[in-house]
């Protein structure tokens, strides 16, 4: 029974991969490689540095928390990639529309995990005000994170389940960091970072 369920899930994973990867639209072929670059850990770290420098005292707190979330997320992603060691789709499947070249294991998607981690943190910490109402950026940023996850499948470097689990990992890590937010921000290192006006690299 378990083998049957597992086989069905794997087949659905492959079918959904081909459905997305097989779109092969000229505009998306140009856009998706650009979108996917914004999902890298480096890109989100640079965004955190920008928030840290220009976001005032509140921004420094958000940046510290976001960096902690990205650190925890990437540790889990690296560990799972090593333990699962799933080959990327273009290694095991035929007729894959591969638009970029990457190395490493497939499960889970690091770009997606980092994007959901940062999007959840920044989205919950910032909002826009209109007519006395607060509109948190979480919805807009999560939509962007979903687009990044979609790009990983479209480009042929991840299965849908890689992306789904990456999203869950990133979101969960941020929620864990937020749960212990006060302890983290009261840590001696975090206190020094919060008091620093400029980030020294």
Residue 116 included in any domain: yes
pLDDT at 38 over 50: yes
**58-86 pLDDT tens trace:** 999 999 999 999 999 999 999 999 999 99
- In a domain, residue 69? The reply is yes
Cα separation of the two ends of the chain: 55
Chain CA centroid to CA 130, Å? 29
Q: Is the peptide bond before 108 cis (omega within 30 degrees of 0)?
A: yes
What is the pLDDT confidence band of residue 19, given thresholds at 50, 70 and 90? very high
Residue 172 lies in a domain: yes
Mean pLDDT on 144-169: 97
| pLDDT tens-digit map of 174-184 | 999 999 888 88
Q: Is residue 200 part of a domain?
A: no
Is 149 among the domain residues? yes
At residue 191, the pLDDT reads: 57
Q: Which of 22-26, 145-149, 159-163 has the lowest mean pLDDT?
A: 22-26
d(CA 37, CA 44): 10
Number of structural domains the chain divides into: 1
Whether 201 maps to a domain, the answer reads no
How far is the CA of 105 from the CAs of 63, 137, 154, 160, in angstroms? 29, 32, 17, 14
Residue 54's domain comprises 2-195
Alpha helix positions (H), the chain: 2-21, 26-37, 41-54, 56-84, 89-92, 110-125, 138-154, 160-179, 181-185, 188-195
Residue 73 belongs to a domain:
yes
With tokens 């990133």, the residue in question is 170
Residue 120, in any domain of the structure: yes
Dist CA 96 CA 134 (whole Å): 44
Q: What is the pLDDT of residues 93-152, one digit of tens each?
A: 999 999 998 988 999 999 999 999 999 999 999 877 666 677 778 999 999 999 999 999
CATH of the domain at 142: 1.20.144.10
**CB burial string 72-99: b at 16+ within 10 A, e below:** bbbebbeebbeeeebebbbeeeeebeeb
């Amino acid at each position: 029974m378990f083998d049957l369920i597992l086989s069905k899930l794997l087949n659905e994973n492959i079918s959904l991969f081909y459905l997305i990867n097989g779109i092969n639209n000229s505009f998306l072929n140009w856009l998706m490689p650009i979108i996917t670059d914004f999902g890298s850990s480096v890109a989100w770290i640079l965004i955190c540095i920008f928030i840290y420098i220009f976001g005032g005292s509140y921004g420094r707190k958000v940046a510290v928390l976001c960096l902690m979330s990205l650190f925890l997320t990437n540790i889990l992603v690296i560990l799972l990639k090593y333990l699962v060691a799933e080959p990327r789709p273009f290694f095991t499947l035929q007729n894959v529309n591969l638009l970029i070249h990457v190395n490493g294991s497939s499960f889970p998607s690091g770009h997606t995990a980092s994007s959901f981690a940062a999007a959840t943190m920044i989205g919950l910490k910032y909002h826009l005000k209109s007519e006395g109402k607060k509109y948190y950026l979480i919805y807009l940023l999560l939509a962007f994170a979903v687009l990044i996850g979609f790009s990983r499948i479209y480009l042929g470097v991840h299965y849908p389940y890689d992306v789904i689990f990456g999203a869950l990992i990133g979101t969960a890590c941020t929620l864990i960091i937020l749960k212990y937010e006060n302890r983290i921000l009261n840590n001696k290192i975090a206190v020094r970072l919060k008091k620093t006006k400029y980030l020294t690299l």
